[in-house]
Copies of this chain bind each other. A is one copy, B any other.
């Protein structure tokens, strides 16, 4: 079995090529919008979500050509959310992945449209996926609307905005992140479950337990890195949560407890893997990667 780094490169490369083709297929318009979309979409993200979709596809024996449009679609949603979250009226960030944020590189109005058009593109990609029948397209699009919209990511970001300068408790912080970050990671699992031929309810539940633990660990680790890392390693300003007076896991729990919480979530994820009658080495490595990453 290949290492997690090999898998990351494999699925990131495939996703990027697919997205490049999507942009190449767009009509020519007298506007800088397409350049700004390319900037936001293809600026060397970690491609964590395509990696997770790829690893779960290996486990459930779903071929890459079926999973690829969903990897691309979820990256469109993720990229749009970063562009909008970075806007002055939201988190007001100037740097992302070591580069100027979209609204710093392009006019702010164009950055807003980048997010809008990338969201539409996500659904466009699913609807035009060549290797999925209509019923599967609808089921996958349902997964995405619930993960990306009010029920998920947008709802979480709204709670986050309203919670700035307000102290919230651990339950609210957990809800916030389950929606803001967890929902899209859960969608990675749900996509592949929809694409797989059949899967026992208990195994589906174990996969969802896995993604819930990993999704939360992802955010706890993000909060930890914001405190412990530096801007160069992160590619974005460190300490920005403190500057914005945001509630974080280290702020609520203390740094050491937050790190222990990450370990507990990792153990939950590994327990879920142990309940699956498949080779889950890739998923186990992914969970470890999430809490051990440095940026």
Residues 92-136 of A contacting B (Cβ, < 8 Å)? 103, 107-113, 115-117, 119-121, 123-124, 127-128, 133-135
A148 and B108 alpha carbons, distance in the complex (Å): 20
Chain B nearest CB, measured from A281 CB (Å): 35
Secondary structure class of chain A's binding surface, majority of residues: helix
Convert A35-67 into 0s and 1s, putting 1 for each residue whose CB lies closer than 8 angstroms to a CB of B: 001000000000000000000000000000000
Contact A29 B112, CB 8 Å, known A124-B145, A154-B117: no
Q: Report the interface size for chain A: residues with CB under 8 A from the other chain.
A: 56
The answer to whether the Cβ of A228 comes within 8 Å of any Cβ in the partner chain is no
Residues 129-174 of A contacting B (Cβ, < 8 Å)? 133-135, 137-138, 141-142, 144-146, 148-151, 154-155, 157-159, 161-162, 172
Contacts of A110 in B (CB 8 A): 158, 161-162
Query: Is B112 in contact with A31, judged by CB distance below 8 angstroms?
Result: no
Chain B nearest CB, measured from A200 CB (Å): 25
Task: Name the CB-closest residue of B to A168.
Answer: B30
Contacts of A157 in B (CB 8 A): 113
The answer to whether the Cβ of A90 comes within 8 Å of any Cβ in the partner chain is yes
Contact A34 B150, CB 8 Å, known A115-B116, A116-B119: yes
A29 and B149 alpha carbons, distance in the complex (Å): 13
Task: Name the CB-closest residue of B to A27.
Answer: B151
Query: Is A33 in contact with B154, judged by CB distance below 8 angstroms?
Result: yes
Chosen A-B contacts, 25 in total, with CB atoms closer than 8 Å, are A27-B150, A27-B151, A29-B158, A30-B162, A31-B158, A32-B158, A33-B154, A33-B155, A37-B150, A87-B109, A87-B112, A110-B158, A113-B157, A113-B158, A115-B116, A116-B154, A117-B150, A120-B145, A120-B150, A123-B141, A124-B149, A127-B142, A128-B142, A134-B137, A134-B138
